Amino acid sequence: MTTSDKLLLTIIMALITFVPATAQYKLVWADEFDYDGAPDPNVWQPEKGFVRNHEDQWYQGENAYCKGGYLIIEAKKERIKNPNYKPGSNNWKESREYAEYTSASIITRGRKSFRYGRCEMRAKIDTRQGLWPAFWTLGEKGEWPDNGEIDIMEFYRGMLLANLAWGSNERYKPVWNTNRKLISTFNDPGWSSRFHIWRMDWDENSIKIYVDDTLMASQEQSKAVNAKNKDITPFKQPHYLLLGMALGGDNGGDLSGTDFPARFEVDYVRVYQKQ
């Protein structure tokens, strides 16, 4: 082998050795939101009405729209009559005659799901009191929480959260891996005014969640097994995506001092698979 051949081999081996981790992945799907109007109906469907967590908002599709290269989920203070209202009902979805706020949650259930890989979102979130933006996934099979929940990004009451949930021995009672980080600990007064990248790396062995390359949560697959419903594998099945901004409810907090509208702005959502 000549000296030049050895040099060439050394360069090739160095390139192989220092290939970045992202080169392991291939982009398999993305929504760049580079169109105007409603989110792509072939991918996203809007949730409607009062949905979960005793939240204050009425979900409606018109509060999610694409403009200027972004998906905008806009929460408004406006009164909407509840068509499901029943005087005297003990069901929170029926006991309120009106919703005082509107917002949107769009999901890919039945249209787009994936198992394993890297899921990434670049977004800017409003971190004022009472707001509850989230980017999360749910498993296709099984009732909650046996189907598995992954909260890639969740915010309320000054905290970023990255959580995972699966089934316990009791129906509808999850086992949580909950991780919180106060926005104030970033020591960046302008943090909420900028875009950030949330990422989930997920394979058959573990799930890791990051914000701007800072690890927020880690979960070993071997320890995330439903205690009772073992026929459902919460994190070894396909999951679909949810993007939305809730208001108030069980965790969001007091909305009375917050001015509206409020926006959750998403630059893109991308899904990669290992080659």
Structure tokens at 152: 């890639």
**Does the annotation count 149 as an active-site position?**
yes
- Asked whether the beta carbons of 264 and 22 are under 8 A apart, the reply is no
What is the rounded CA–CA span in Å between residue 89 and residue 137? 31
What is the rounded CA–CA span in Å between residue 208 and residue 191? 22
**Does the annotation count 143 as an active-site position?**
no
What is the rounded CA–CA span in Å between residue 248 and residue 58? 12
Structure tokens at 83: 């068509």
Beta-carbon contacts of 238 under 8 Å, excluding residues fewer than 6 positions away, are 113, 114, 115, 139, 140
Catalytic residue among 47, 55, 120, 149: 149
Catalytic residue among 55, 74, 154, 265: 154
- Asked whether the beta carbons of 76 and 117 are under 8 A apart, the reply is no
- Asked whether the beta carbons of 133 and 234 are under 8 A apart, the reply is no
Catalytic residue numbers read: 149, 154
